Chain A
C-alpha cells in the first residue's frame, strides 16, 4: 500500500497513522504558505513604511519586528517539542516523535536568529553586542540544547529508541524555558522586562504593536508551514528506511 493510497479513517486515526496524517494534512500546505507570504508582505510594509521611529531608540526599533518573533519562536518551538515528548513517552503517539524530530532544527534556527538580531539591536542600544546576563545566556543555552537534540537524532539508527531517549532529554531541557522567561525579573539584566504580554497591557503604542503582531503571526505561520512539511518528509524518510531494511533482509535471506 502506497503512502498516498491508504484507506480513509476517522480524524483521530488519521493523525495517528503516518500515511493518513500526510494525506490529511497535505491540502493545508498551500493555504499556509500563501497566508505566511501575505503576512510577511504586510508585516514588512508596516515595519519599513508605516510605523514610526521610537522616541528613544529611533529607527533601531525596527529590529524588534524580527527579533521578538524569533525570540518567541525559540521558546514556542521548544514548547511544541515538549508536548510531543509527552506524546512519545505517555501516549506513544506515532506522530509525536516525528513532530519532535522535525521541530528541532527549526527551533535551533529561530533561536540563532533571536541571538543574532538581539546582538545587532544591542550594539546601538546598549553599546555592546553581547552581555553574559540571564536572558542572553539562558537563550544561548537553549541553542545548545537544540543542537544537542539535533545531534542525538543523528546519533541513533533506531529512530523509535532514539525518540524515547530524546523525549526524556527534551523534558529535562524544558526547565530552561521558564528560566528564559523570568530571567529578566530574577536577575539584574540589560534586557528589558516583558512589554507586550503583561497583566496591565502592552506598554507600546498601537503604531508599533501593529507591525510587531503581524510579523509575530508571519513567523509563527512560517514555523507551522515548515514544521508540517518537515513532518511529511520525516514520515516518508521512515518509510524509505523501512523499505531499505526489508530489501536488505530479502537480500540476506
Chain B
C-alpha cells in the first residue's frame, strides 16, 4: 500500500464510506429485486388456479 501522507485517515474514511454505501446500495437493490420477483412468482402461480374456478 502506498504512503497516503499525514491526511491518510481522511482518504481511507472517504473510500471506506463510499465502499460501504455502494455495497449497501447494491445489496438493497438485489434484495428488493429478489423478494419482489419471488412475490410475483407466488402470485402468478396462484392467479391461474383462481381464474379457472
Contact = CB atoms under 8 A, between A and B. Distances in A.
B13 to A, nearest CB: 6
B2 to A, nearest CB: 6
B7 A58 contact: yes
A117 B14 contact: yes
A70 B3 CA distance: 25
A70 B17 CA distance: 12
A59 B29 contact: no
Interface residues of B, number: 32
A69 to B, nearest CB: 9
Candidate in A59, A244, A247 with the most chain B CB atoms within 10 angstroms:
A59
Interface stretch (A60-68, A88-96, A152-160): A60-68
A237 B2 contact: no
B24 to A, nearest CB: 8
Interface in A224-253: 226, 229-230, 232-233, 236-237, 239-240, 243-244, 246-247, 250
A243 B18 contact: no
A201 B26 CA distance: 35
Main secondary structure of the interface of B (DSSP, over half): helix
A109 interface: yes
Contacts, number: 90
A112 interface: yes
Interface string A58-90: 111011001100100000000000000000000
Contacts of B17: 113, 116-117, 120
A146 interface: no
Interface in A1-23: 2-3
Interface string A100-112: 0000001001001
Contact of A66 (B15, B39, B43): B15
Interface in B2-26: 2-8, 10-11, 13-15, 17-18, 21-22, 25-26
B40 A236 contact: yes
A41 B40 CA distance: 35
Nearest to B50: A250
Interface in A110-127: 112-113, 116-117, 120-121, 123-124
A137 B44 CA distance: 48
15 contacts: A58-B5, A58-B6, A63-B10, A109-B25, A112-B21, A117-B17, A117-B18, A120-B17, A123-B10, A232-B33, A233-B36, A236-B33, A236-B40, A243-B47, A244-B43
Interface of B: 1-8, 10-11, 13-15, 17-18, 21-22, 25-26, 29-30, 32-33, 36-37, 39-40, 43-44, 46-47, 50
**Which 7 pairs between the two chains have the least Cβ-Cβ distance?**
A59-B5, A124-B7, A243-B43, A120-B14, A233-B33, A63-B14, A120-B10
